A = this chain, B = another copy of it.
Amino acid sequence: MKQATIYSIAQALEVSASTVSRAFSRPDLVKPEVRERVLATARELGYAPNRAARGLATGRTGLYGLLVPDVTNPFFPPLIRAIQQAAARVDAGVLLVDSEGSGAAETALVSRIKAQVDGLLVASPRLATAKLKEALGAVPSVIINRAAQGLATVVCDNTAALREAATHLHDLGHRRFALMRGPSASWAAGRRAHAIRSWAQEAGVSLAELGHYEAVFVDGRRAAAQIVESGATAVFAFDDLMAAGVIAGLSDLGETVPRDRSIIGCDDVLLARTMTPGLTTVTAPLEELGRQSVLALHGLLEQRPVPNVQLQGTLTVRGTTGPPP
């Protein structure tokens, strides 16, 4: 059966194609009774509007591009899911692209897809803000999890939760802290480091700063030796993945967590919940991040002014204990 068009429906009902079109895109402009009949026969004929045709006529594709640096980093899947859901709610599809962690690739990918989407959601971009802006050009975009002057952003602030975590460890008796810094180009890494550094200063406790490391498991594992060397009993890993790496690395060296040291992760990805024992970490509101990003992009597309949004991470305590005697 040939795919139905507005014309087949129009013909069947002896109305004009415009009426059928309006029944779908501007229902209020068509007499309720007629509208009903149109919708009914549309259903019968299995009609679905042709997106390409609509796109050609309106200049809208109904697609949001989503650019992530690494789908396999457990931080992203929940975000992707939330975005996909929220997008569906405004009748948009999600075109997913993975930049494989390369800033250069980001530029290429952005220019490659910006022609086929209505707007772009760029998660944790590696690119410097200036280059990013240049690549984005005039495509409506929202930047997720990164500050970017002059661009719409949706970020998560973990400062309060990290300070709370630090206090928690301090209360348990820890006095020697270490901070494993994330990638030097990462905005989030900078923020997190700053939060912990300033807490340590205020609290007057010693803080060994290690890294920068890449935010991957093996880097955490390799870093274990430096942690032991630092003498810290309480460790802030850049994220959960690194925390898992540290735990593995410490185990390689014969230590057990949290018996010998306490590790704090960040993001509360699946990993953190499925480890045994569980990982104390800062839970990122990924659902909300996704939802807000889509809302922002949608607003942008409707020419509405969109405020930058800042969400808060929250502390989730799981395995932490006091330092060994």
What is the CB-to-nearest-CB distance from A219 to chain B, in angstroms, rounded to a whole number?
A: 12
Segment 252-297 of A: residues with Cβ below 8 Å from B: 270-271, 273-278
Shortest C-beta distance, A127 to chain B (Å), equals 19
User: Which of A33-41, A75-83, A307-315 lies at the binding interface?
Assistant: A75-83
- In the complex, chain B residues whose CB is within 8 Å of the CB of A277: 251
Residues of B within 8 A of A93 (CB): 95, 97, 113, 116
Please tell me if A141 contacts chain B, counting CB pairs below 8 Å: no
A85-B61 in contact (CB<8A): no
Chain A 64-100 per-residue mask, 1 if CB under 8 angstroms from chain B, else 0: 0000001110101110110011001000011111100
The distance from the CB of A267 to the nearest CB of chain B, in whole angstroms, is: 13
B56 near A53: Cβ-Cβ < 8 Å: yes
In the assembled complex, which residues on chain B have CB atoms less than 8 Å from the CB atom of A78? Answer: 71-72
Q: Are A275 and B273 within 8 A (Cβ)?
A: no
Given contacts A84-B98, A116-B93, contact A241 B50 (CB under 8 A): no
| Assembly CA distance A274 to B221 (angstroms) | 10
A248 at interface by CB-CB < 8 Å: yes
Contact B244 A276 (CB under 8 A): yes
Q: Which residues of B contact A3 (CB under 8 A)?
A: 115
A96: chain B residues within 8 A (beta carbon) = 80, 84, 94-96
Specify which chain B residues have a CB less than 8 angstroms from the CB of A131 in the assembled complex: none
Shortest Cβ distance from residue A35 to the other chain B in the assembled complex, whole angstroms: 21
Q: In the bound complex, how far is the Cα of B3 from the Cα of A56, in angstroms?
A: 13
Q: Assess the A95–B97 pair: CB atoms within 8 A.
A: no
Q: For the complex, is A245 an interface residue (Cβ under 8 Å from B)?
A: yes
Which one, B80, B245, B278, contacts A71 given CB within 8 A? B80
**A70 / chain B contacts, CB cutoff of 8 Å:** 81
Q: Is A191 an interface residue (CB 8 A)?
A: no
Which single residue of chain B is at the shortest CB-CB distance from A62? B116
Interface pair A248/B274, CB less than 8 Å apart: yes
A56 touches B63 (CB 8 A): no
Q: From A51, which residue of chain B is reached at the shortest CB distance?
A: B116
Would you mind naming 19 contact pairs between A and B with Cβ atoms under 8 Å apart? A48-B111, A50-B115, A51-B55, A51-B115, A55-B56, A70-B81, A71-B84, A74-B77, A77-B77, A84-B98, A217-B270, A217-B273, A241-B274, A244-B274, A244-B275, A251-B277, A271-B274, A275-B275, A275-B276
* In the complex, the 7 A-B pairs of residues with the closest C-beta atoms, listed nearest first: A52-B55, A48-B115, A244-B274, A72-B77, A51-B116, A248-B276, A52-B56
Identify 5 new A-B residue pairs, CB closer than 8 A, beyond the known A52-B53, A248-B276.
A51-B55, A80-B98, A217-B273, A251-B276, A275-B276
